[in-house]
Chain A
Amino acid sequence: KAGVTQTPRYLIKTRGQQVTLSCSPISGHRSVSWYQQTPGQGLQFLFEYFSETQRNKGNFPGRFSGRQFSNSRSEMNVSTLELGDSALYLCASSPTGTGGNYGYTFGSGTRLTVV
C-alpha cells in the first residue's frame, strides 16, 4: 500500500515568488492536513481538507492557501514568499479527518528554502 507522497522533496525559491507543494494521500483517505515545521515554532497546523472542502485553517496569513482535488490529492500554495516561510512542510492523511482509529499518516515533507 503506497504511503503519503509529497513532491517536490526540496525547493529553493526567491523572496516574493510563489510556490506550490503537492501531497498525494493514501488511497481511500479523504482528509489531508498540512503542517509547517520550523526550528523556532515547531509543528503548526496550516489547514485541513476533506472531500475538496477546507474545513479548518490555522493561524497563518492569507498568503497560505490550498485546495483538494476529487482524487483527494492536495496542493498548498504560498504567495509572495518571505524568508520566514523557510520550513519543512508536512502533509498528513487520514480516512475521515480524525486520527482516532489509525492515527494520521505523514509524508516525508517538502523542504522549502526562501533566499
Chain B
Amino acid sequence: EAGVAQSPRYKIIEKRQSVAFWCNPISGHATLYWYQQILGQGPKLLIQFQNNGVVDDSQLPKDRFSAERLKGVDSTLKIQPAKLEDSAVYLCASSTQGLELFFGEGSRLTVL
C-alpha cells in the first residue's frame, strides 16, 4: 500500500517569497492533516480536513498560510509571504476512522 506522498522534499526560499507544498494521502483516508514541526519541537497542527471540509484551522496563521483540499483527496499548503520563523518541516498525515496517523516524509522549508 502506498504511503502519504509529499513534495517537494526540500525548499529554500528568501523571506517574503511564496511556497506551496503538496500532499497525496493514503487512498481512502478521509482525514488529512498538515502539521508544522520546528526543529526541537513536536508537530503542531495547522489544519485538519475531513474529506474536503475544514475541521480545525485554529492554529493556522491565516494572514499568510492557506490550505485547500478541493476534491477531498490531495491537498496543498501555501505560505505567502514567508517569514524566517516559517523555517520548519511541514508534515502531512492522513487517517481513517481510527486515530492512527500516517505521516509523509515531510517537506523541509528553509527561509533565508
A binds B: no
B contacts, CB < 8 Å to A: none
A contacts, CB < 8 Å to B: none
